[in-house]
Amino acid sequence: MTKPVERIMVYLDGSEGSILAMRLAVVFADFSGAELYALSIVNTRALSDLVQSHIFLEAEREEYRRELSEDGARYLNHAVEMGRRKGVSVQSLNFSGSIAAGIKEKVGELGIDLLVMGPPPRIRSRRDAMFDELESAMRTVDCSVLIARNEERIEKLYREL
């Protein structure tokens, strides 16, 4: 019988929500024996938009790209460590481009069948709804999506692993 979940992926952006999603994914991976991937994205699309709109200078684009890349490496190290503490192997993934495109591309490329995400930000304007990239990924990605909620319960599950 095919396992219901074979490959799980979490997108990490350093937010509390994405850390919570990672904890839940570690629990699921342990429970199901699924492979677990953590994805970090350097949002070069946003950097290009900022240069094009003249908010950023070229020098700022490079400076921020480097910082995003360093932040991403830190998030991934943290994710690997979270898995290691519970005996779960976490494979790191990097992508440069837009967030929605990165998530969709990696899901397709690796055959991910479950994307675990933190709670999406509260939508407070129509523009938020139209342009939020995580919202867009959640709506359009070609796999099941699990939203991590109830921090207390997830912390307990992770702690008890």
Single residue of 19, 34, 68, 141 touching another protein by CB under 8 A: 68
Single residue of 1, 2, 87, 125 touching another protein by CB under 8 A: 125
Q: Is 43 in the site for another protein (CB under 8 A)?
A: yes
- Of 128 and 142, the one with the shorter C-beta distance to another protein is 128
Single residue of 3, 16, 33, 49 touching another protein by CB under 8 A: 49
Q: Is 62 in the site for another protein (CB under 8 A)?
A: no
Reduced 3-state DSSP string for the chain: CCCCCCEEEEEECCCHHHHHHHHHHHHHHHHHCCEEEEEEEECHHHHHHHHHCCCCCHHHHHHHHHHHHHHHHHHHHHHHHHHHHCCCCEEEEEEECCHHHHHHHHHHHHCCCEEEECCCCCCCCHHHHHHCHHHHHHHHCCCEEEECCCHHHHHHHHHHC
Return residues touching another protein (CB under 8 A). 13-14, 43, 46-47, 49-50, 52-57, 59, 64, 67-68, 71, 121, 124-128, 131-132
